[in-house]
Structure 1
Amino acid sequence: MSKPVVAIVGRPNVGKSTLFNVLAGETISIVKDTPGVTRDRIYADCTWLNMNFTLIDTGGIEPDTSDVILSQMREQAEIAIATADVIVFIVDVRQGLVDADTKVADMLRKSRKPVVLAVNKVDSYEKFGNDVYEFYNLGIGDPVPVSAASRLGIGDLLDEVVKYFDCAKLEEEEDERPRIAVVGKPNVGKSSIINKLLGENRVIVSDIAGTTRDAVDTEIIHDGTPYVFIDTAGLRRKSKIHEELERYSIIRTVTAVERADIVVVVIDAKEGVTEQDAKIAGIAHERGKGIIVAVNKWDAIEKNDKTIYEYTNKLKEILSFIPYAEYLFVSAATGQRLPKLFEVIDAVRQNQNLRVSTGVLNEIMAEAVAMQQPPSDKGKRLKIYYMTQVAVKPPTFVAFVNDKELMHFSYVRYLENQIRSAFGFRGTSLKFVIRERKEKDQ
C-alpha cells in the first residue's frame, strides 16, 4: 500500500520548515551509502498513531509574482498540492490574515483536497487565542492553533491530518493492478518507452482522475494482465538560479515512487549513469520499492559480444547501493527488448511478495552465524536469537538480538547477502528491523 502524502503549504516565512522539522522529528534518517539523500530534505517519513505518511515541505507560495524563483516555487507547490492526499495550510497569527493567505486558500479550494488549517506561532493561548478566530474568514474549516517553535498543539494538528487518510487510500487499496513508476532525467525517453509499450499493446490511454499534467497514469494490458504506468515529467537539470528549486522538482519523483510498487529508472545509454540518476535510484531504494534499471537508446551504442557485460559492471559499480536491481537494455526507438520489461516486472513482483518460513529463515541464519562470527565489543558478543519475516512489499525481517548496538550495519548486510543467495529476491530491496531482548526475557 502506498503511504498517504501530506504537503505543508503557505506563503513564505510563516514557519513551514520549522513545522516540517518538528513533525519529521527524528524520523529523517540519513541512509548510509545512498546518494542524494541530503540533510536539507524536503520530504520525510512520519508516523502518528501507527499511521505512516510522507510529509512534503513546499517553497513559500507568493500567489502573484513575477520573480522567476518565486513563481517556479509556486509551480512546485502546485505540484505538491496536486499530488498530496492532505494539505496542511499554515498561516501566521502574529501577522494576522493577509491578502496572500486568501489567495492561497482559493488555490487550495480549487484542488478539492482535504485541507487542515494550522495557525502558527500561537505560543500562548491567553495572548493569541482570540486572534485565531479571524482565520475562520478563509472559509476552509476550523483553524488549529499551533506553535511549531514551542511544539504546542502539534498532536491536535496531526489528529486532524490522519482523519483524512482512510478515504483517500481506500480507492487505491482496492486496485490490485501493479503500479510502475517510470522515472529518470528529462529526455532519457521515459514517455517514448510508455508510448511504445502502448503502441504494441494498443490500449486507449486513460487519464485517471486526480493525476496531474506532471504524472499521468496509463493502463497497459499485456497478455491479459493490466499494468498501471505512472509517467513523471523528468527532473530538470540544475542551472544557477534553479538550485533552490531543484530540491522541489524532486517532489514529482518522490510522489510517483511513493505510489508505485516497482520503479523503472531510465538511463541514457550514451550518457551513462549521472549523479542525478543515482539520486533517483536512491529515492526508490530508500522507499523499499522494486527497482529495474532500463538503459535506453541501446541501439545507438557500438557493440561487440562483451559490451552488455562491461556496461552492466560499470553501472553496478556506480549503483552499488542497489546490488539487487534488475538491468534491461532497451530502445524505445526500435522497440528492442521492450516486451521483456513485463517479464522482469512480473518476476520482481513475485520477489516482492515472497514469504520465507521462520524455520527455514533461522536455519540460514544459524549457518550464516557459524560461517562468520557476529561482532563483539568489550568482550560482549552479539547473539541473534531468531529472525522472522513480518511483511512483504518489501520483504521485511525482524531479528531479535541481545544488544542492538552490536548489530553493525555491515553484519546486517552480510545476513542480507546470505538470505539473498538462498532465495534470490532479485529486483526488490529487503528491510531489516532489529529488536532487543534481554537474556532474562528468553
Structure 2
Amino acid sequence: MPKPVVAIVGRPNVGKSTLFNRITGGRVAIVEDTPGVTRDRLYRDAEWCGRQFTLVDTGGIAARLDDPLVARVRSQAEQALKEADVIIFLVDSRTGITADDEEIAALLRRSDRPVLLVANKVEDFSDPAVTHEFYRLGLGDPLPISAAHGMNIGDLLDQVIELLPETPAGEEGEALKVAVVGRPNVGKSSLVNHLLGEERVIVSELPGTTRDAIDTYIRRGDKEYILIDTAGMRRKSRITVSTERYSVLRALRAVERADVVLIVLDGTEGVTEQDKKIAGYGHEQGKASIIIVNKWDLVPRDDKTMARYREAVQQELIFMSYAPVLFISALTGQRVNQVLATIDTVGAAASRRIATGTLNTVVREAVLLTPPPAVKGQEVKIYYATQVKVKPPTFVFFTNRPEGVHFSYQRYLENQLRQAFGFTGTPVRLIFRRGRER
C-alpha cells in the first residue's frame, strides 16, 4: 500500500529544504540562501518509531502571482497539499508573520488536512515569547524547532506520527525505478507528464526548470513504476550556478539508484558529446537503458529516415548497442505508449537469472564453435561459467589463463549470451578468473 504523505509547505526561504534533509537523513534537497531554489515537489521515504511515510518538500508559496513561474510553483505546492495526509507549515521565527504566511495559513485552513504549525530558526527554546506571535495564524500551538541544528526534530516527528492515518497491513509491490536523464530542454519533464497523464512536474521552455530529481509513483495494471525526473545535465564548463551543480550531482545519483535509465535525445539535434557522456554514465553504472529520440514530430523525414537515424545513433553510442531506440514526440504523444512496455522488457532482462546448466551448455557450444586464441603458443581453456549477479547480469568464467582471454573473444562470448538469452537493453558483465576443470 502507498505510504502516508507528509508535505512541508511555507513561503520561500524559511528552511523547508533544510528540515526535509534533516528528517530524511541526507542532503537530498538543494539548500541555498537564494529564495525560490526548490521549485518542484521532492519526494523521499522517511521513518520514525517504526512508522514509514513519504515526505514531500515543496516550492515556496508566494503571494506574488505576476511571475508565471512563481504562479506555477504555487500550483505545484497546492497540488501537494491535496495529496498530503499531514501538513507541516513552516514559518520563520526570526522574521515573524508576513503577508505570505497569512495567505498560506488561510489556504491551509481550507485544506481539510491536519496541520502542524512549526516555527523554525529558534535560538532560545527557553523563551516562549518567540512563538507567541504565530498563534494569530489560527492553526494551533506553534512548535519551536531549529532544522539547521536538529533541535526539537524528534518532538515534531512524534506529533507527525500521531496524526498519520492508519494504513492497512500488507506488502507494497516492488516498483521499477526509472530515471529520465538528458541535456536541458530535450523534453524529459514533458515525457514524464505524458506518462503520468497529468502535470506532476513543471514544464517550461526555459532550460534548467527541473532542478531536483523528483520521484513519482505510478501504476499501470499490475505494474508499478517510480519515475525519477532529473535536471538537465550540462557540460561542466557551462555550470556556473552552485544550485545547478547540485542538480547535476543529484541526476547522477538518480541514475545510480535507478533500475532503468531513459536517455532522452533531441531529435532535431542528433547525438551530441554531452549526450554521449550522459549515456556513458548509465552504461558504466551497469544500468538497463533505453534511448529516447524525442521531438520526432519536428524532424523532416521520409520512409528511410528512422532507419538511418537509428543507425547513426547506434554508431555514436556504439558502447551501448544493446539499448533499444524509440522515436517519440512527448508533445503529441506519438509512440509514447511504447515506452512503458519497453521499460518492462529491459527491466526484466536486467533481472534475468540463467540456470548454471543452461548457461554452460551455451558456453560449451560457443567454445567448440570458436575456441579462444592461444597466447604465446599456450592454449587458453574456458572450463565453465556461472552467473553471480543481476542488474546487470554478471557472469564469472573460470579459465586456466584469465589474462589471456582477449577483449575480442570476451565480446564474442557476450554476443553468444545475448543471442541465446536476449538481455535486451542491459549491459552484460563478464569476469574471468583462474580455475580448474570440474
The yes-or-no answer on 1:393 pairing with 2:391 is: yes
Q: Distance in 2 between matches of 1:422 and 1:198?
A: 35
Moved over 6 A (4+): 243-248
**Deviations for 1:364-396, whole angstroms, at most 9, x for unmatched residues?**
212221222213222222111101112222111
Instruction: Indicate which of 232, 235, 246 corresponds to 1:234.
Output: 232
Indicate the RMSD between aligned Cα atoms, in angstroms.
3.6
Deviation of 1:236 after TM superposition, in Å, equals 2.4
The yes-or-no answer on 1:346 pairing with 2:344 is: yes
Q: Distance in 2 between matches of 1:192 and 1:240?
A: 24
Tell me, yes or no, if the aligned pair for 2:177 and 2:258 is still in contact at 8 Å: yes
Match of 1:126 in 2: none
Tell me, yes or no, if the aligned pair for 2:287 and 2:426 is still in contact at 8 Å: yes
Residues 406 and 290 of structure 1: CA distance in aligned 2, closer, same or farther (over 3 Å): same
Instruction: Indicate which of 226, 251, 272 corresponds to 2:249.
Output: 251
Deviation of 1:245 after TM superposition, in Å, equals 10
Instruction: Indicate which of 311, 314, 317 corresponds to 2:315.
Output: 317
Partner of 1:288, secondary structure, is coil
Q: Distance in 2 between matches of 1:422 and 1:353?
A: 16
The yes-or-no answer on 1:435 pairing with 2:433 is: yes
Structure 2 counterpart of 1:386, which letter?
Y
Match of 1:384 in 2: 382
Q: Distance in 2 between matches of 1:412 and 1:267?
A: 30
Tell me, yes or no, if the aligned pair for 2:239 and 2:245 is still in contact at 8 Å: no
Match of 1:50 in 2: none
Map 1:33-432 → 2, pairs under 5 A? 176-199=174-197, 214-237=212-235, 239=237, 242=240, 250-432=248-430
Q: Distance in 1 between matches of 2:421 and 2:242?
A: 43
TM-score, normalised to structure 2's length?
Answer: 0.57
Tell me, yes or no, if the aligned pair for 1:253 and 1:280 is still in contact at 8 Å: no
**Deviations for 1:257-310, whole angstroms, at most 9, x for unmatched residues?**
111100000000001011111111111111111100000000001111111111
Q: Distance in 2 between matches of 1:339 and 1:401?
A: 45
Tell me, yes or no, if the aligned pair for 2:387 and 2:394 is still in contact at 8 Å: yes
Structure 2 counterpart of 1:251, which letter?
L
Instruction: Write 1 or 2 for the structure with the bigger share of helix.
Output: 1
Q: Distance in 1 between matches of 2:199 and 2:248?
A: 30
Tell me, yes or no, if the aligned pair for 1:220 and 1:227 is still in contact at 8 Å: yes
Q: Distance in 2 between matches of 1:270 and 1:228?
A: 28
Residues 384 and 347 of structure 1: CA distance in aligned 2, closer, same or farther (over 3 Å): same
Deviation of 1:254 after TM superposition, in Å, equals 1.8
Structure 2 counterpart of 1:337, which letter?
R
**Deviations for 1:338-358, whole angstroms, at most 9, x for unmatched residues?**
111011011112211222222
Partner of 2:417, secondary structure, is helix
Residues 393 and 241 of structure 1: CA distance in aligned 2, closer, same or farther (over 3 Å): closer
Structure 2 counterpart of 1:370, which letter?
L
Which segment is superposed worse, 357-366 or 259-268? Answer: 357-366
Residues 247 and 316 of structure 1: CA distance in aligned 2, closer, same or farther (over 3 Å): farther
Match of 1:100 in 2: none
Partner of 1:227, secondary structure, is strand
Alignment size in residue pairs: 278
Q: Distance in 2 between matches of 1:139 and 1:248?
A: 22
Tell me, yes or no, if the aligned pair for 2:373 and 2:380 is still in contact at 8 Å: yes
TM-score, normalised to structure 1's length?
Answer: 0.56
Structure 1 counterpart of 2:269, which letter?
E
Q: Distance in 1 between matches of 2:401 and 2:193?
A: 52
Deviation of 1:139 after TM superposition, in Å, equals 8.5
Q: Distance in 2 between matches of 1:224 and 1:174?
A: 12
Deviation of 1:252 after TM superposition, in Å, equals 2.4
Give unmatched runs, 5+ long, in structure 2: 1-31, 38-42, 47-119, 121-147, 151-170, 202-209
Tell me, yes or no, if the aligned pair for 1:203 and 1:219 is still in contact at 8 Å: no
Partner of 2:336, secondary structure, is coil
Structure 2 counterpart of 1:302, which letter?
P
Tell me, yes or no, if the aligned pair for 2:271 and 2:316 is still in contact at 8 Å: yes
Question: Percent identity, aligned pairs only?
Answer: 51
Give unmatched runs, 5+ long, in structure 1: 1-62, 65-70, 76-81, 86-109, 111-137, 141-172, 206-211
Residues 404 and 247 of structure 1: CA distance in aligned 2, closer, same or farther (over 3 Å): farther
